[in-house]
Amino acid sequence: MQQLQPYLEQNKERFLNELLDLLRIPSISADAQYAPDVNRAAQFVAAQLKNAGADKVEVMPTKGYPVVYGEKIIDAKLPTVLVYGHYDVQPADPLDLWNSPPFEPVVKDGNIYARGACDDKGQMYMHVKAFEMMMKNNALPCNVKFMIEGEEEVGSVNLETFAIANKEKIKADVILISDTSMISNDVPSITTGLRGLSYVEVEVTGPNRDLHSGVYGGAVANPINILCDMIASLHDKDRRVTIPGFYDNVDEVSKEERDAMANAPFNLNDYKAHLDINDVLGEKGYSTLERVSIRPTLDVNGIWGGYTGQGAKTVLPSKAYAKISMRLVPNQKSEAIMQLFEAHFKKIAPASVKVKVMPHHGGEAAVTPTDSIAYKAASKAMETTFGKTPIPLRTGGSIPIVTMFEKVLGIKSVLFGFGLDSDAIHSPNEKYGLFNYYKGIETLPYFYQNFAEMSKES
């Protein structure tokens, strides 16, 4: 795939400009106000797939946002790679913390700054451009299909139905996904595990209306005080989650894998400096890398209620709310954990308040094999372009469709991400390195070549 290098050099500027055009579309799936933009992003991806040389390009409707499909079948006897990615992005707020507007991408100091630059427009678009390079140079060594969705950031709720209805169409030997990160630009890694997720919203109600905090305070339960007590009780002094049964099905990781994690290059001081914290905090007995990958967690994502406007208003509020997420590890079931949470949360509520628990989306954890042809093909591809063998490493984020695809399609995935944890995905000033964008485009064709060759040998 060395022969593609001149093409990449000649087209670098255009490859970047096309991505910047895609980044200008505010395709925020969580906010209905942006629906026309989300659909516009789907059309953009479809048009670019067609330009790159894909056949049967379609914007396929679902009950939510459409899935963009395209394929190039060169020979039915050859193996098929199914590329998955997403064209939707997270909301951009808080807007005032951005150094430049989130949907007016800027290239500065070797980085592209925009919402979606890394997650996942930049990483997804590398695949479109790598495909174009192989097509225009007659170098595509196997079949490829694209399935780019628009609801990943809101839980991919319609994708299972889509996958079942289109099982034949999206049939493939492996799913290739670039939607994760590497350790650093000098130390490539391949993600081999993702956490699952249970997400709930809770509502605590005290008195039937907001009260004068002097007239009633001290005698009537304040739902915010109570909610804080309840949330605080969800961790013990060792920072373990106190919900009975929470750890029951947790897969303990082998000593070999823990040793390998301990040897992965990770500098705690750099980590703390990068986040401006004096110390880390987490479950006793586990390292920072372990806490964010092989251990389940519980976090409050948002909490509100009462008076938050200017000045002081003496009020004992009627209601308090919180959004709580639990990250899960293999063998924990998101539905069962949701139920454990609900039962426990209701149980610990004092009689002075009423509690409602409303489940949001969930998803299962995933582990991907390192002994598959596809993993080896990815590893060898990175070895060629980075000059180093990538380290297999689990990560803490969630891509629930990985386990869903395995269940309904019987296809395993390779998590071939080129981002960095410092890319600030979901945060203000999200970025993606030009190095990472071009390195991904350069590396992906080697994956195809290795995968086609190694499949032949086996």
| Rounded CA separation 299/279 (Å) | 18
Nearer to ligand BES, 153 or 430 (CB): 153
151 part of the interface to ligand BES, by CB under 6 A: no
Compute how many residues bind Mn ion; rule: CB under 5 A.
Answer: 3
Of the candidates 398, 403, 449, 455, which one interacts with ligand BES according to CB under 6 A?
398
Contact 40, 29 (CB under 8 A): no
Q: Which is nearer to Mn ion, 73 or 97 (CB)?
A: 97
Q: What are phi and psi of 405, to 5 degrees?
A: -60, -40
For residue 324 the two structure tokens come to 């709580």
Binding mask 184-223 toward Mn ion (x if CB under 5 A, else -) reads ----------------------------------------
Specify the residue, 26 or 397, whose C-beta has the smaller distance to ligand BES: 397
Cβ–Cβ < 8 Å for 415, 177: yes
Applying CB under 6 A, the span of 18-26, 173-181, 281-289, 308-316 interacting with ligand BES comes to: 173-181
Asked if 155 interacts with ligand BES (CB under 6 A), we say yes
- Nearest distance from residue 411's CB to ligand BES, in Å? 19
Q: Going residue by residue from 221 to 250, which x/- string records binding to ligand BES, judged by CB under 6 A?
A: ------------------------------
The yes or no reply on residue 253 touching ligand BES (CB under 6 A) is no
Q: Amino acid letter at 77?
A: K
Residues 109-128 that bind ligand BES (CB under 6 A): 119-120
Q: Is the peptide bond before 75 cis (omega within 30 degrees of 0)?
A: no
Bridging pattern class, strands 211-212 and 315-316: antiparallel
The token pair at 312 is 């002081």
Question: Is 158 an interacting residue with respect to ligand BES (CB under 6 A)?
Answer: no
Select the binding partner of residue 85 from ligand BES, Mn ion, none (C-beta < 5 to 8 A, by kind): none
Q: Which residue in the set 223, 392, 397, 445 belongs to the binding site for ligand BES (CB under 6 A)?
A: 397
What does 123-188 look like in DSSP terms, one character per residue? HHHHHHHHHHHHHHTT---SEEEEEEES-GGGT-TTHHHHHHHTTTTT--SEEEE--SEES-SSS-
Sheet holding 319-328, edge to edge: 297-305, 319-328, 196-205, 354-363
179 vs 364, beta carbon nearer Mn ion: 179
Contact of 271 with 279, CB cutoff 8 Å: no
By CB under 6 A, the residues from 350 to 379 that bind ligand BES are 361, 363
CA distances (Å), 319 to each of 212, 306, 441, in order?
Answer: 14, 7, 51
Contact 71, 405 (CB under 8 A): no
Which residue is at the shortest CB distance from ligand BES? 397
Tell me which residues touch ligand BES (CB under 6 A).
Answer: 119-120, 152-153, 155, 179-181, 194, 197, 361, 363, 395, 397-400, 425
Tell me which residues touch Mn ion (CB under 5 A).
Answer: 119-120, 179
